[in-house]
Copies of this chain bind each other. A is one copy, B any other.
Amino acid sequence: MISSVFFVFSVILSSSYAAMQDFCVADYAAPQSPAGYACKDPAKVTVDDFVFSGLRVAGNISSINKIGLSAAFAVNFPGLNGLGVALVRADFAVGGVVPIHSHRDATELVILVEGTVVAGFIASNNKPYVKTLNKGDTMVFPQGLFHFLVNVGDAPALAYASFSSANPGVQTLETALFQNNLPTEIIAKSTLLDTVQIQKLKRLLGGTN
């Protein structure tokens, strides 16, 4: 009783690989391509590949920045692979800060669901765009630009940040400069920071050289 319109398209769409056209659940064990992870055999894909529970609870609050960050990125949420979206949960302690960072390939859209934060980004002509956000406000940080959030309220804050990439690169200024073995002299020359400042932050963050 099933008509051939269904049959013909079924031939096309019910083969194991056809479903891949709808999604490409990450197979972390296979080599990647410039477009992302290889696809898991669609026959082995289940609904659990599209559901992620890692944002249920707050991340550990860091001692330095007083921020807990939990991410749902393609790197840990396989269903996102190839689909161009990702999500972060940010739990701010009082005084908590998301330090200045950028995403190499993604715009970020943040919604503050609890608390009061000062948020901002810096355009490539050096102009800052800064605003105090209240509960329910959203702010967009255009792709590739420095941005930050600072909890300026007297209570914890909670925000969700979504991204226009399934695996937004995060380059945080303080760790990019000071949590590796890039020689102090090179950092000094290419940032104008003082050697003493660089060495102090390398010690704090675990950098060497």
Contacts and interface: CB of A to CB of B under 8 A. Distances in A.
Contact of A144 (B32, B73, B120, B171): B171
Interface in A9-23: 9-15, 17-23
Contacts of A123: 19, 22-23
A160 to B, nearest CB: 6
Given A9-B172, A56-B136, A61 B4 contact: yes
A49 to B, nearest CB: 8
Report how many copies the assembly holds.
Answer: 6
A94 interface: no
Contacts of A11: 76
A88 to B, nearest CB: 9
A154 interface: no
A155 interface: no
Interface in A96-136: 97-100, 102-105, 107-109, 111, 113, 118, 120-131, 133-136
A124 B104 contact: yes
Contacts of A175: 6, 126
Contact of A18 (B30, B102, B125): B125
10 contacts: A3-B64, A6-B179, A8-B60, A18-B124, A21-B105, A33-B33, A33-B82, A51-B131, A56-B134, A77-B140
Interface of A: 1-15, 17-24, 27-28, 30-39, 41, 46-48, 50-53, 55-57, 59-65, 67-73, 75-77, 79-87, 97-100, 102-105, 107-109, 111, 113, 118, 120-131, 133-146, 148, 150, 160, 162-164, 167, 169-182, 186-187, 189-194, 197, 200-201, 204-206
